[in-house]
Amino acid sequence: MSDLPLRIAGDRVTDIITLLTRIIDDVPVADSLPGTWQAERDGPRIVVEGDGTPTSSPVHTGQAVRVILHALTRPEVVNLMDTVDALLLAYSALGIGFAIRPGQRLIVTKDGDGEGTHFIASAGYTVEASRKETQHG
């Protein structure tokens, strides 16, 4: 049993966070928005979350992933989200080890009123990858 090959699924949210962190220098990327974050003080922030139940087969895995951009103004979130969308789809076409396909289209909304108000833009993607084989033992 020491040489048992296992097919592991991986984590598509982590894949997208890693990719965005590597290709976007000036906007922090994480899996949640820090509780102390303020748009006016801290600038834009990208959050990546799983958006539904992952799918799995013997050869590949897939997951709906939502990329959410927080920023002070509507034009800023729309422009940044357009850039993020273009980069994700361009890098996927380059063969980075997983496929990124557009899912739910862009949604833009205002987060509240008054002090601390900011805008949120989000888009969904379907991210698929082959299972990787690893040796157990």
Per DSSP bridges, beta strands 118-130 and 99-102 are antiparallel
The 3-state secondary structure of the chain, one letter per residue: CCCEEEEECCCHHHHHHHHHHHHCCCCCEECCCCCCCCHHHHCCEEEEEECCCCEECCCEEEEEEEEEEEECCHHHHHHHHHHHHHHHHHHHHCCCCCEEEECCCCEEEEECCCCCCEEEEEEEEEEEEECEEEEEC
pLDDT tens-place values along the chain, 137 residues long: 445 454 455 688 888 999 999 999 999 999 999 989 999 999 999 999 998 777 777 777 788 999 999 999 999 999 999 999 999 999 988 888 888 999 888 999 998 777 778 999 999 999 988 876 555 45
Predicted TM-score of the model (pTM): 0.83
CATH code for the domain in which residue 71 is found? 3.30.2000.30
Which of 88, 56, 89, 75 is CA-nearest to residue 119?
75
Q: Is 125 exposed, middle or buried (0-12, 13-18, 19+ CB in 10 A)?
A: buried
67-76, pLDDT tens digit by residue?
A: 999 999 999 9
Which of 13, 104, 23, 7 is CA-nearest to residue 57?
7
d(C-alpha 108, C-alpha 68), whole Å: 10
Range of the domain at 50: 4-136
Tally the domains of the chain.
Answer: 1
Residue 117 in tokens: 């108000």
